[in-house]
Amino acid sequence: MSIHNHPKKAKEFVSNDERMHWHDKALWFVREKRDKASKSIPEWEKLREYAQQIKTHTMANLDKYLLEFEENATKRGIKVHFAKDAKEHNEIVYNILKEHQVKKVVKSKSMLTEECHLNPFLEKKGIEVVDTDLGERIVQFRKEPPSHIVLPAIHLKKEDVAKTFHKELGTDENNSDPTYLTRAAREHLRGKFLEADAGITGVNFAIANTGGVVVCTNEGNADMGSSLPKLHIACMGIEKIIPRLQDLSIFTRLLARSATGQPITTYTSHYHGAIENGEMHIVIVDNNRANFLSSNKYKKALNCIRCGACMNTCPVYRRSGGHSYDYVIPGPIGSSLATFRDPKLHKTLSFACSLCGSCSNVCPVKIDLDSQLYNHRQDLYEKNIISTKKRVVMKLSVWVLNSPILFSILGKITRKIVPLIPKKIIYNRFNIWGKQRDIPNMPTKSFKELYKEGSIDVK
């Protein structure tokens, strides 16, 4: 696989100025809604602190809570499976489906199944998988990955959706009225729900002391998918565990407000067992998560509750679009997760960041996202993954900067020479700064020179 290149993909996205600004504004609008919602709660910062503490505690005792969860879920008749990686996860899911002779599956949004590439795996085995979240369905029709974890089709305009639905559902190509399109999608999905033999859902929270799982959706599609067919499979990463039912309130208060600015998600569904005459399975996946636990610098990344707020606030994400990250989870948290998992493949992601720090402040569980990205950069250097050119330039700069005299001389020469060089030569193709920006005007003397001369009149 060739190395992913964020700057290149970002360039493509930025070059369509109108669409880029539309994307930026749409997400900023969500961020503003989130600001209002978070500011309506006086104890917001305390909630963030509690959430962080609960998560950190849970992760430090994860084995204990996973076993507690398994025990309690089993008592409720839920079948619990553990998978070490994506492959095992997919096989477990497939075997359950095979056992029940399932031909059609409805799925409600789960980034984990996206991470494990479950859809193509099942499709290859002849099983139809329909994503039932509206945004997910749109990108599924278009054979694209989601570009945001909460708003998977945010890169598309309603006109794009009209075109897609025209092709797939036979709606009027020129009618992009959202109500019209949503109705068409709903009708289409109704049919899929009724036909389905099994429902697969994600998990937002798994509660150790009850053995139940909680799924939050705005469209109620998880409920349809888990209560119409007899078979319900819930797939979750090991990090979704929280210790007690009462801890849940902290997270549900933070999640919807951070994600979309809503006080609560429309449906917060608790599953504590199968429906009548049905069967419920939970597949718990590691897929490289445990490694985070042993890393002091990055383990907090596992605390993520997937609200998407760091994406909405990130000025780079808003302007470069989710697909530029080439990873199942984009934005600041995605950059950290991806780089930890495969630094070589994702080496540009920790640099796709101006280190503004807005993400760490917006994060409801206080993940130190910007420090993680800073640390990743240092690790890439350590692991010899960043380019030799950059290495040489940096080493040279430090060498110059170690000598005040050399540095002063070079500064002086630059200030003298630059004004004499014709513009054409200064703004050459290697001068990336100068492509769209003028270089600063050169003063005749540096501050140091003026200070030494004693010519600074301080009164």
Residues 312-331 binding other proteins (CB under 8 A) are 313, 315-316, 319-320
Among 126, 422, 440, 454, which residue sits at the site for other proteins (rule: CB under 8 A)? 440
Segment contacting other proteins (CB under 8 A): 20-28, 98-106, 109-117, 262-270?
Answer: 20-28
Residues 310-369 within binding reach of ligand SF4 (CB under 6 A): 310, 333, 362-365, 367, 369
Among 1, 420, 425, 432, binds other proteins (CB under 8 A): 432
Residue closer to ligand SF4 (CB basis): 216 or 231: 216
Per the DSSP assignment, residues forming a β-bridge with 201 are 234
User: What does the alpha-carbon distance between residue 260 and residue 256 come to, in Å, rounded to a whole number?
Assistant: 6
Could you give the CA distance from residue 367 to residue 307 in angstroms, rounded to a whole number?
12
11 forms part of the interface with other proteins (CB under 8 A): yes
Site for other proteins in 327-356 (CB under 8 A): 350-356
Looking up tokens 């996206």, which residue turns up?
114
Q: Could you tell which of ligand SF4, other proteins, none binds residue 420, using a CB distance below 5 to 8 A set by kind?
A: none
Distances (CA, A) of 130 to 104, 134, 206, 275, 346: 8, 11, 24, 21, 30
Residue with tokens 């290859």: 124
Size of site (CB under 6 A) for ligand SF4: 15
The 256-275 contact track toward ligand SF4, x by CB under 6 A, reads --x-----------------
d(CA 253, CA 265): 9
The CB density around residue 404, as the number of other CB atoms within 10 Å, is: 10
* Segment interacting with other proteins, rule: CB under 8 A, options 58-66, 120-128, 187-195, 446-454: 446-454
- Nearest CB to other proteins, comparing residues 270 and 391: 391
Q: Which of 71, 123, 187, 382 binds other proteins (CB under 8 A)?
A: 382
Q: Which part of the chain contacts ligand SF4 (CB under 6 A), choosing from 16-24, 243-251, 282-290, 304-312? A: 304-312
CA angle 86/88/90 to nearest 5° reads: 70
Site string for other proteins, 174-203 (x = CB under 8 A): ------------------------------
Sign of CA dihedral 268, 272, 275, 276: negative
Distance (Å, rounded) from C-alpha 148 to C-alpha 140? 14
Range list of H helices, 76-177:
86-99, 111-115, 118-124, 134-141, 158-169
